[in-house]
């Protein structure tokens, strides 16, 4: 029986300790490469978490009420979508290692690529180790991974995934939905072939083994045309039927994890 240590969870869209570089024009400014969700930015310099009002590495000032206000401003060099810049209170050294933590908007998250779902390690409630996904739960998770992975994002297996990320933020025709439906079917067939190869050198339980892809349906909600519904029905080698549902907002938001 195989298992997966990475569990499918809701993405927090947080970027932690990303290394950033000073603008050579003033050595005080850092320009974000992507839009950020809010002003909750933390800074590490040379590995140390910095107080925003630090006398050497400060990046904030006090307002009339004495509250600390982060020096975040619109980046005048950016075009749509508008990005921001962080400005330190004084010039920093060229050899200073600067790392920023912040939150990305859904559409610009580089962890979940707009799907709001991400595979990550989860510590058990008692702290005894990491949770494992096995059996039917692993089959459901593997199917969702095959559906939600952006095709081409895995440089070692470029055939893995679909173009389902095109559902987010785009206006789609009925023919586009049909193409994505076929794309999902192809990705699940690739998963089935991968499991067959895996079972030749590793024990794969009947519960986690994909036996058949019974139906794949991608449709618009009857009452909300911006809501895209994905419904997949598969059967495991143990004969258990597994229903997988996911909903997307074509306006750029996503309903999140439904029944995985």
Three-state SS for 52? coil
Q: Is 83 exposed, middle or buried (0-12, 13-18, 19+ CB in 10 A)?
A: middle
Q: What is the pLDDT along the chain (260 residues), one digit of tens a residue?
A: 465 555 666 788 899 999 999 999 999 999 999 999 999 999 999 999 999 999 999 999 988 888 889 999 999 999 888 899 999 999 999 899 999 999 998 878 888 777 677 766 566 677 667 667 778 888 888 898 888 888 877 777 777 788 777 666 666 677 888 888 999 999 999 999 988 888 888 888 898 899 999 999 988 878 777 778 889 999 999 999 999 888 776 554 444 444 43
Q: State pTM to two decimals.
A: 0.58
Q: Using one digit for the tens of pLDDT, what is the confidence trace for 160-189? A: 788 777 666 666 677 888 888 999 999 999
Name the residue among 13, 30, 183 with its Cα closest to residue 96: 30
Compute the Cα dihedral for 53, 54, 55, 56 and give only its sign.
Answer: negative
Query: Which architecture characterizes domain 134-256 according to CATH?
Result: Roll (3.10)
Q: Using one digit for the tens of pLDDT, what is the confidence trace for 110-141? A: 887 776 777 665 666 776 676 677 788 888 88
Domain boundaries, the chain: 14-108, 134-256
Question: In which order are the strands placed within the sheet that holds 241-249?
Answer: 210-220, 227-236, 241-249, 254-256
What's the chain's Rg over C-alpha atoms? Answer: 23
């Amino acid at each position: 029986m195989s298992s997966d240590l990475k569990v499918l969870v809701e993405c927090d869209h947080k970027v932690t300790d990303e290394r950033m570089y000073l603008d050579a024009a003033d050595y005080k400014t850092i320009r974000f490469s992507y839009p950020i969700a809010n002003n909750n930015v933390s800074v590490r310099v040379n590995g140390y978490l910095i107080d925003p009002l630090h006398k050497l590495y400060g990046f904030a000032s006090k307002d009339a009420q004495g509250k600390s206000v982060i020096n975040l401003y619109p980046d005048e060099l950016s075009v749509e979508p508008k990005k921001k810049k962080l400005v330190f209170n004084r010039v920093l050294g060229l050899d200073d290692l600067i790392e920023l933590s912040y939150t990305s908007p859904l559409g610009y998250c580089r962890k979940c690529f707009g799907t709001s779902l991400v595979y990550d390690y989860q510590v058990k409630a008692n702290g005894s180790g990491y949770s494992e996904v096995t059996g039917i739960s692993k089959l459901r998770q593997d199917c969702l991974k095959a559906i939600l992975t952006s095709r081409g994002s895995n440089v070692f297996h470029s055939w893995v995934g679909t173009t389902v990320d095109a559902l987010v933020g785009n206006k789609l025709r009925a023919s586009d939905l049909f193409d994505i439906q076929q794309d999902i079917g192809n990705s699940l067939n690739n998963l089935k072939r991968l499991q067959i190869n895996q079972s030749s050198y590793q024990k794969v339980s009947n519960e986690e083994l994909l036996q058949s892809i019974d139906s794949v349906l991608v449709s618009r909600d009857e009452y909300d045309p911006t809501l895209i519904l994905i419904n997949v029905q598969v059967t495991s080698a143990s004969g258990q039927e597994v229903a997988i549902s996911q909903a997307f907002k074509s306006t750029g938001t996503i309903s999140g994890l439904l029944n995985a």
